[in-house]
Amino acid sequence: MSRKLVFTALGIFLLSIVAFAQAPTHWRGPNANGVYNDTGLLKSWPEDGPEILWHFDGVGEGFSSPAFANNAIYLSGMEDSTGYIYSLSQDGELIWKKEYGKEWSVSFPGSRSTPVIVGDLLYIYSGLGVVYCMDAGNGDLKWKKDLMKELGGRNIQWGVTETFLIDGDKLFCTPGGEIHNVVALNRYNGELIWTSKGEGEKSAYCSPLLIELPARKLLVTMTEKHILGIDAETGSKLWSYGQSNTWSVHANTPVYSDGALFCFSGYGQGGVKLKLSPDGSSVSKMWVSKTLDSRIGGIVLVDGYLYGSGDTNRYWQCVDWETGEQKYKAKDIGKGVVISADGMLFLYSDRGELALVKATPEEFKVSGKTKVKLGNMQHWAHPAINNGRLFVRHGNALIAYKIK
C-alpha cells in the first residue's frame, strides 16, 4: 500500500473517531427508540433475579435515566430543591457532582430530564424550563437560557419533562409558548436559530423524534392536543394531527419505521399509526389502537411487532405493526416501562417489578423476575442498557445489574 493510501486511510479512521465522540447521546438508547444494540445477553435470570454489580445511593430525587459518554455515567437529581448532575465511574464511584439550578420541588418532586452529552458538553433541562449547558468533564456552567422568561414558555402541571434532541449545532425543544412553541437553539451559545408557532399549545412532556428522509429532516413531537411535523432545518410546520387526552400528557416519543409513525399516549387515548408522504410534508391515518395507551412507559418495535403496556388498559400487549391487530395481552406484571435488546423485553413496572420476557408475538412468558427494593419514590424512570449491564434508577439510587 502506498504512503498516500496509508495516510488517507488513517485520516478517515481518525475522522470517524472524532465523529463518534461528537455523536449526541439519546434518551431511550443509542437509537432513541428503546431498542439497545447489546448482544449475547442472558435469556433467563436466576430465581432471585440478575446479580447486582453495584448501586449508588446518592443521586437525589428524580425520574431521569442514566446517560453514557466519555467512559462515565451521567445522571440528574435534586437535593433540597437544587438540581445536580452526578458523574459516576463505570464501577459506580462518584467522580464529581455539580449543581445547575433550582429544580421542580412541588408535586412529584425531582429532576425529570435525562442529560444529553455531545463530546465535552452536557445539556440538561430543568423542570422549571431552564436550559443549562455544562462542561461534561467537571460540570462548570457554559451558558443557560430560561425558556419560560425569555421565550414565553408555559410550564405544565407537573413540570417540564422533556429530554433534548440534538443534531449538529441545533438543540430542539418545546417551550410551549404561543409564539415560540417549538424551537431550535444554537447548542454552543443558546441563541435562537428558528422558532415554530406549532399549534400554539402547551408543551406536553414529549421528547421529540428526528427522522432523516431523502427530502428533509423531519422533527416530530406532541404538544397539548396535537402531533406536529416540523421541518428540522427551517422550523416550518408541515402538518399536525389531533391527539388529546384528559390531562394533556403525551410523554412518549413517537416510534418510526419504514415510512410510518406510531404516536401514543395514556388515559385511554391510545395510539395512531400515521403514514408519512415520501417527503414528510403530510400524513394519513393507517390504523388506531385504543388499547396501547401507555402513559409514560414507552413502546418498542421489534421484528414487526409493538410491545408495551397500557394505562387505562392495565396489561402488557403485543400489536402487529402492519395491521394493528392485538396478538396477546397479559397481566402477569404490573403496567410500566419497556426497553429491548437482543430479542428480549426488559419490563420495569410501577409496582417495582423487574422482568425479562422474550420478544415474540406468540406468548408473554416471563423468564426472569425480581423486585427493585433499593431507592425510593415512584418506579417511573426508564431503565437503560450499557455494556452488558441493566441500569435502573429508583429515586435516589442507581442500580447496575449483570445481564450478560
CATH number, domain with residue 313: 2.40.128.630
User: In 236-255, which positions are buried (b, 16+ CB within 10 angstroms) versus exposed (e)?
Assistant: ebbbbbebbbebbbbbbbbb
Q: Is residue 217 part of a domain?
A: no
CA geometry: angle 178, 124, 229, nearest 5 deg:
40
How many whole angstroms separate alpha carbon 301 and alpha carbon 338? 11
Burial (CB < 10 A; 0-12, 13-18, 19+), residue 90, is middle
Q: Number of folded domains in the chain?
A: 1
Cα→Cα distances 385→65, 103, 228, 336, Å: 10, 27, 30, 17
Residue 62's nearest CA partner among 95, 108, 130, 123 is 108
Q: What is the pLDDT of residue 168?
A: 98
Contacts of 3 (CB under 8 A, 6+ apart): none
Q: Determine, yes or no, domain membership for 386.
A: yes
pLDDT confidence of residue 15: 40
The answer to whether position 264 is within a domain reads no
pLDDT score for 16: 42
* pTM summary value: 0.94
Domain that holds residue 308: 35-63+299-404
> Which pLDDT does position 155 carry in this prediction?
82
pLDDT 10s digits, 110-143: 999 999 999 999 999 999 999 999 999 999 999 9
The answer to the question of residue 162 being in a domain is: no
- Domain membership of residue 1 (yes or no) is no
Query: What pLDDT score does 153 carry?
Result: 97
Helix (H, G, I), strand (E, B) or coil at 181: coil
The number of C-alpha atoms within 13 Å of 354 and in the hemisphere containing its C-beta is 28
Residue 233 lies in a domain: no
70 is a domain residue: no
The answer to whether residue 255 sits within a structural domain is no
CB-side exposure of 236: number of CA atoms within 13 Å?
Answer: 9
Q: Which residue in 132, 73, 72 sits closest to 102, CA to CA? A: 132
Name residues of the chain where pLDDT drops below 50.
5-20
